Each structure stands twice: as structure tokens, then as C-alpha cells.
Amino acid sequence: MEKTPAPGENIAVLRKARGMGRARLARLGGISVSLLTRIEEGTRPATPHIVAALAKAMRVTPARIHGQPFSDETRQAELLDDLRAAVRRYTLPREDVPPPEALAAGVQRAMALRAETRYLELLDLLPRLLGQVTATALSTPGESGVWSQLVDVYGCAYAAAHRLAQPDLADMIVSRQAWAAQQTWNPEAEVATAWNEAGTYQSAGQYGDGLAIVERAIAKYERAGGGESSPAAAMSLGSLHLRGVVLASRHKDKGATADHLRRAHHHARLVPADVLRHNLTFGPANTALYELAAHIELGKPGMAVEMSDPLLRNPPPSLTPSRLGRMYIDISRARLDVRNYSGAEEALDRAFAVAPEMAEAHPMAREVVRVLFVLHQRARPTLMGMAERTGLAT
């Protein structure tokens, strides 16, 4: 298995290819030369905010810096090509209309695989399922429920494309999801689409534009009568505010972060336990996870570590593996920032246990593994195993 380049290595290669010295790139990216040096050498992680800033300075996408997370792309490439072809044929499905019960079971299966972060199984299922649900929706243009199913399946496709570092495919999927959402007359389906649309801006490092998408979706939902204090409204609006928390904190906008977080907590009080609908999770526990992540993005890892202790002792049982995996990755990053290297490794090991396919591909999980590996941790068997699984060691 070949070693996959890490973001720091990619930054150095791209910088040199553009004839840029470290001093110039650091100045354009708004960071110190010493920090850029440590990122390139692998002793500091390339965080989302830094990657976005350096990508803008070098006129490349963040995806170019993150690189391909797989050392052996053959199987993933084949499955992604099949999905890409199915998404392209969004009005020309080749599949027949299946029985309603079979279609519903397929949709539920896809949503379960997404929540469990079983992306390769999901990719294997999606092309045919997309064709089936599209054929059904096109044959019943006035049936809102079937179009909502199509929105949900596109949401699963977006999650796979996003997590497997395929931003162009993710963009195309979101456009198809928006087309399907327009046929539903279902405000919750439109919220799920807006969530993913904002996510494409988040992946591109365009945090201000992503915030504009979130605010527009919130205003549209409230104008449509979704502002009343009901669990459904709390779920929709709260989810949008959580996306706003991520975007605002990465944008280093403390005021917007606090505002979105305050409103998310308000809506969470109307949802006694975390709920998963239209591939969105919302409730008190998930809101706490976003607050923890915001502390990290805003340069307060100590507060994130303090928040993490009860979450590690008693992981929220209402959360899916996709959310728990992300929680452990964020905790590992916070512990790395405070130089608790053994604690960072412990949290990351939990992420690999509960959501292995997410941990293997997630940019921050890979960055924490890389930094720990470079910092003379090679003799630790658990860390060596994680480095080999991510392709960062051979």
C-alpha cells in the first residue's frame, strides 16, 4: 500500500509549484511562518480555517490540499463513477418502478448506512436506488411523499460524496436534491437541501457564503409558517442553526457563532431527545457537540476538553455512529491542541472503533494521526495501526 500525501506535504508541493516562499504564503494566508513550517513538516495540524486561507492564497480548492484520502482508489473510484453516472441521469432513470414497500425499505437502508458511516456499502446501493426512486417520482409527479424520499436518497449520496472527498460530485448532487425538494411542498425537505448546500460552501472554505445560505433558509422556513414552537419546527430551525455554528466559528465570527448557538439551544429545549429526520440529527446532545467543536475553531481547546469529559464517560446513546465518530474526532483535536497526546490518541481510537470509514477519510482525523505519528509516537501499536489504515504509513 502506497503512502498518501498529507495536507502539509501538499501545501509544500503546491507552494513550490507556484514559486512562493513560506514567508509570502504565510503572509497571504494570515498565519506565521513558524506555524506554516510546522504544518508542512507535520508537527501541527492543518485546520479547516487554515486550509481555506492557504487554498485561497494559492488559488486552489481546499480539496487539492486535503488530497485523496485513499491509497488504493480502485474500488472507491468504481463505485463513485457509478454514482456519478446515476446522478447525471437524474431525469433518465433506467430502473423500473419497484413495489412501494421495497422502495421504502431501500430508502431506509440507505439512511441507516449513512448514519452508520458505512460509505462503501452505501455507494454500492445508491445508483440503483436513485434510479428506482426517481422513476417512481417521475411517474407520480403530484406525490409529495415519493419526492421527499428522493430528497432523502440524494442526502445520503451527498454524505458519501462529501466524506469521500468528491466536492464536484457533492455540488452536482445538491443541485439534484434542490430540484427534487422543489417538487415536494415539504419545508423539512427544503431544509435538508439547504443544509447540504451550505455544506458545499463549507467544504470550499467559503464560510461567509455558507452563512448566507443558512440565513436565507431560516427566513424562508419562518415565512412559510415554520416559526411556531413545535418539535418539527425546532428540528428544522435548530439543524440550520447548527450548520451556522460551524460556518460562523470557522469564519472566526464570535458574534454569529454565539447567536446561532444560542438559538440552537433554544430549539433543543423543545426536542427532549435527539431525533434523526431527513438525514439531520438535532437535539440537546448534538447541540452540545457543535458547541464543543465551536470552542476548538475559536481557539479555546481547553473549554472543549472540559466539555468532553462527561461526553467521554457517558457517550450520548441517542446519537448515531456518524455523530459519535465526529465527537471523538473533535475531542482528539482538542486534546492535541493542549498537548495531551495520549488522550488525543485514545479519543481517535474510539472514533475508529465506532465509525471506521469516517475516521479513515475525515481530514481532521487524518491530521491528528499524522501529527501524533510525526511526534515520535511510531512505537505505539494503536497509533501505527491508525496510520496504516489512513494510508499515512506503510
Distance between CA atoms of residues 370 and 125, nearest Å: 32
What predicted TM-score, i.e. pTM, was given to this entire model?
Answer: 0.92
The x, y and z cell numbers of residue 289, run together, are: 457537540
Concatenate the DSSP letters of all residues of 366-381 into one string. Answer: HHHHHHHHHTT-TT-H
Compute CA distances 230 → 32, 73, 233, 269, whole Å. 48, 45, 5, 11
Backbone φ, ψ for residue 276 (5° rounding): -115, 115
Q: What is the pLDDT of residue 71?
A: 54
Q: What is the pLDDT of residue 92?
A: 95
Cα(first)–Cα(last) distance of the chain, in Å? 6
The 3-state DSSP class for residue 75 equals helix
Backbone φ, ψ for residue 46 (5° rounding): -85, 100
Q: What is the pLDDT of residue 70?
A: 65
Distance between CA atoms of residues 45 and 61, nearest Å: 18
Q: What is the pLDDT of residue 148?
A: 96
Distance between CA atoms of residues 50 and 321, nearest Å: 27
Q: What is the pLDDT of residue 1?
A: 45
Beta-carbon contacts of 254 under 8 Å, excluding residues fewer than 6 positions away, are 298
Q: What is the pLDDT of residue 130?
A: 98
Q: What is the pLDDT of residue 394?
A: 65
In the chain, domain spans: 7-66, 73-185, 186-299, 301-394
Residue type at position 278: H
Most distant CA atoms of the chain, gap in Å: 63
Distance between CA atoms of residues 213 and 127, nearest Å: 28
Strand partners, 282: 275
CATH class for the domain made up of 7-66 = mainly alpha
Residue numbers of the chain with a pLDDT score lower than 50: 1
Backbone φ, ψ for residue 277 (5° rounding): -140, 140
Q: Could you say which DSSP state residue 2 is in?
A: P
Compute CA distances 294 → 11, 149, 202, 247, 258, whole Å. 25, 32, 14, 9, 9
